[in-house]
Structure 1
Amino acid sequence: MMPGRNRKISPLKLPDRPYLALGLEGSANKLGAGVIKHAKDGSTSVLSNVRHTYITPPGEGFQPRDTAQHHRDWAINVIKDALHKAGLSMQDLDCICYTKGPGMGAPLQSVALVARTLSLLYNKPLVGVNHCIGHIEMGRDITGAQNPVVLYVSGGNTQVIAYSRQCYRIFGETLDIAVGNCLDRFARVINLSNDPSPGYNIEQEAKKGKRLVPLPYTTKGMDVSMSGILTSVEAYVSDKRYRTDPTLGDSDTDDIITPADLCFSLQENVFAMLVEITERAMAHIGSKEVLIVGGVGCNERLQDMMGIMAQERGGRVFATDERFCIDNGIMIAQAGLLSYRMGYHTPLSKSTCTQRFRTDEVHVAWRI
């Protein structure tokens, strides 16, 4: 649901002039650069949002060193493209925002180095941004959600979040691996393509599934566990009933398990777990809004299941498409510019990055 791209920024005072920021994202295999504008009337505009993805062969994940090399190879082209599409130069910008964490160490470091270099070359202040806060603030701006329960689901993170007293509080999270990691690892087991992403290809395969196989369902209070369900679904690949082509073999066709069945079963179980813990958070804080952010948030089946739950509670679900759900530079620009307008910037001596940067460690000064 994307009702509009411009929304008043509150509680920040209206800017006395337009503000412009470049955002750089590279915490995993997506390298993104985007330019955002905060206008004098308080509205925000996406001027450009460019992304390049490091894609590995089927059955292979992306390694930190190779991913960092990809980011170094493509950084100049992606940034130039973003500035060109925005019709701006580096001199026009107010600040340069980059992903401080969380994420993979080597890719984060390569993008932080680019940000520092640009800061020194053009004498522009730096703003280090929490990756999750970027997702949330871009999601809020694009969808118009006011005070939602946030389900943050990506390759490296699974969290249920709500805002309180200038902090995004984590109500529940994964106890082991993230939902995106779970899906990606299973895609490698059944040799699905990584283009455009393993999760997307699992979603398409799941639409052809007809059989729901038994899998663990593990919620613990408001937390979830993914490692057990991953181990269980992987075990079916060695089952004598498993067929990549159901027309082959002499087994009863009603007894055959296909890759599509496993993708379907995995999605249904994992997404049901996520809907359950999100509903608990909604009941706890009395909210009727759910905002889904992160790369897995593009999944239409997850959005549908969450929508059914929210509708039964008299609420609604907010989600974005792949332009803003999947890691991108514009979300870093948005969160960074909000911080910058509150007087925050990152000194060059502290312009580091970290693989572990909790969502609830950030002071959300721009909200009441």
Structure 2
Amino acid sequence: MVIAIGFEGSANKLGVGIVRDGQIVANCRRTYITPPGQGFLPRETAEHHQQNIHAVLREALDQSGITPDMIDVVCYTKGPGMGAPLMVCAIVARTCAKLWKKPILGVNHCIGHIEMGRLITNAYNPTVLYVSGGNTQIIAYDRNKYRIFGETIDIAVGNCLDRFARVLKMSNEPSPGYNIEQAAKRGTKYFPLPYCVKGMDVSFSGILSFMEDRIDDLLQKFTPDDLCYSLQETVFAMLVEITERAMAHCGSDEVLIVGGVGCNVRLQEMMGVMCKERDARVFATDERFCIDNGVMIAWAGALAHSSGTKMDFSESTITQRYRTDDVVITWRD
């Protein structure tokens, strides 16, 4: 039985989670929220994490009933992500590992999302659509690595949605992507937008610029709800297309949607229509596990620890650009 604690702080979500033999015993989180029309910057985000991480750690230990002497491995997000926020969690994880005399493991953020999704949904060997504020990738497992079959060539889909929410001066609470989703449900008129699929890759920056440059004129003819609806339908259709192409290539009959944008019910619906036509299944989780959290880091670290993966303390640094396919997967056949 492995008990692992995980620290996540790659962006504006700060999370500490604890797993015990595959069971989630604590999943605590704080979110750094900025005023409408503003994004979050590395320095301010890191300050938020510094101010809250001790309280979140205490909350996780109290919620789980786990004491430091019971923990087998301390895990933290090594990357990818924003440098300053990543460093806050890495420093706290290193400190805990030293104080508690426990081994430490750096976890790839993307792998954490994938393994959390597999744990919660029981998807066996799915084609993975990983969509968040910082990442957009189509992934499938092969020969001890999660291989990237397609990805964004510029900004992530979540970043596209978040930045359009800023254009409309929408609230960042609970998140701009969630508010875009709710507005889109009220939209009734579709405005055709550029559709940017390039082989297995996608591009979102041009779509965003197209709308930003014309926003005053568009608001004369369409409501903000209509524009949110139009943007969602377009970018999600792009994602469904490349996911289906990856499924065909891999001979897959499962899709797992992970990452913060994976909470979006409309994306799940559109993916479900495609999967039904292919006699396939779609798997997704709710906001407890889609949105960045410490449990996913703890679970991925527990899997690596159980399979014999070790990290020297001198290697417990951060890597802002840490590719999904850089990680050797030692816990899968």
Q: TM-score range by the shorter chain?
A: over 0.9
**Equivalent residue, structure 2, for 1:194:** 172
Query: How far apart in 2 are the matches of 1:236 and 1:191?
Result: 16
Q: Does 1:123 align with 2:101?
A: yes
Q: Quick check: 2:104–2:311 contact (8 Å CA) kept in 1?
A: yes
* 1:293 equivalent in structure 2: 258
Shift of 1:351: 0.6
Q: Which residue in 1 is equivalent to 2:31? A: 53
Q: Is the 8 A contact 1:101 1:354 kept in 2?
A: yes
Post-superposition Cα deviations, 1:14-56, rounded to whole Å, max 9, x if no partner, equal xxxx210001000000000010011xxxxx2100100000000
Greater shift in the superposed pair: 344-353 or 190-199: 344-353
Q: Which SS does the other structure have where 1:363 is aligned?
A: coil
Secondary structure class of the residue paired with 1:207 = helix
Question: What are the equivalent positions in structure 2 for 1:16-27 lying under 5 Å apart?
Answer: 18-27=1-10
Aligned counterpart, 1:165 = 143
- Amino acid in the other structure paired with 1:29: N
Deviation at 1:346, TM superposition (A): 1.9
Distance in 2 of aligned mates of 1:72 and 1:150: 33
Instruction: Show the counterpart of 1:233.
Output: 211
For 2:162, the equivalent position in structure 1 comes to 184
Q: Is the 8 A contact 1:128 1:345 kept in 2?
A: no
The letter for the 2-side match of 1:131 is H
TM-score in terms of structure 2 length = 0.99
Aligned residues: 333
Partner of 2:219, secondary structure, is: coil
User: Which residue number in structure 2 is paired with residue 318 of structure 1?
Assistant: 283
Q: Indicate if the aligned counterparts of 2:309 and 2:330 stay in contact, CA closer than 8 A.
A: no
Preserved contact between residue 76 and residue 93 of structure 2 (Cα < 8 Å): yes
Distance 1:320 1:90 in 2: 29
Q: Quote the offset at 1:283 in angstroms.
A: 0.3
* Cα distance per residue 1:39-86 (max 9 Å; x no partner): xxxxx2100100000000000100100000110110110011001110
| Partners of 1:33 and 1:50 within 8 A in 2 | yes
Q: Distance in 2 between matches of 1:300 and 1:236?
A: 28
**Structure 1, gaps ≥5 residues long:** 1-17, 39-43, 244-255
Q: What is the identity, as a one-letter code, of the residue corresponding to 1:19?
A: V
Please name the residue that 1:337 is paired with.
302
User: Does the CA contact (< 8 Å) of 1:49 and 1:328 recur in 2?
Assistant: yes
TM-score scaled by length of structure 1: 0.90
Structure (1 or 2) with the larger CA radius of gyration = 1
- The residue number in structure 2 matching 1:94 is 72
User: Take 2:219 and 2:295, find their aligned partners in 1: how far apart are those partners?
Assistant: 43
- Which one-letter code corresponds to 2:311 in the other structure? T
1:183-224 Cα distance to aligned partner (Å, 9 max, x none): 111111100000000000000001111111121000011000
Write out per-residue CA displacement over residues 302-360 of structure 1, whole angstroms, 9 at most, x where no aligned residue. Answer: 00000000000000100000000000000000000101111212211111001100000
Partner of 1:279: 244
- 1:112 maps onto 2:95 in alignment: no
Distance 1:366 1:347 in 2: 19
* Equivalent position to 1:155, from 133, 136, 139: 133
d(CA) in 1 for partners of 2:288 and 2:39?
A: 23
Aligned pair partner of 1:361 in 323, 326, 332? 326
Deviation at 1:236, TM superposition (A): 3.3
For 2:252, the aligned partner's letter is S
Q: Shift of the alpha carbon at 1:242?
A: 1.2
1:21 is matched by which residue type in structure 2?
Answer: A
- Taking the aligned partners of 2:312 and 2:122, their CA distance within structure 1 comes to 32
Please give the secondary structure, in 2, of the residue aligned with 1:142: helix
**How much has 1:160 moved relative to structure 2?**
0.2
CA drift of 1:100 comes to 0.1
Partner of 2:58: 80
Partner letter of residue 293 of structure 2?
A: N
Identical columns (%):
65
User: 2:173, 2:250 → 1: CA distance?
Assistant: 39
Q: How many Å separate the matches in 2 of 1:227 and 1:155?
A: 13
Q: Are positions 1:308 and 2:273 aligned together?
A: yes
Residue identity matched to 1:242: L
Structure in which a larger fraction of residues adopt helix: 2
Q: Distance in 2 between matches of 1:184 and 1:206?
A: 14
How far apart in 2 are the matches of 1:46 and 1:288?
Answer: 28
**2:219 maps to which of 242, 246, 252:** 242
**RMSD (Å), alpha carbons:** 0.7
CA distance in 1, matches of 2:128, 2:4: 25
Q: Which runs of 4+ in 1 moved over 4 A?
A: none
Distance in 1 of aligned mates of 2:310 and 2:258: 25
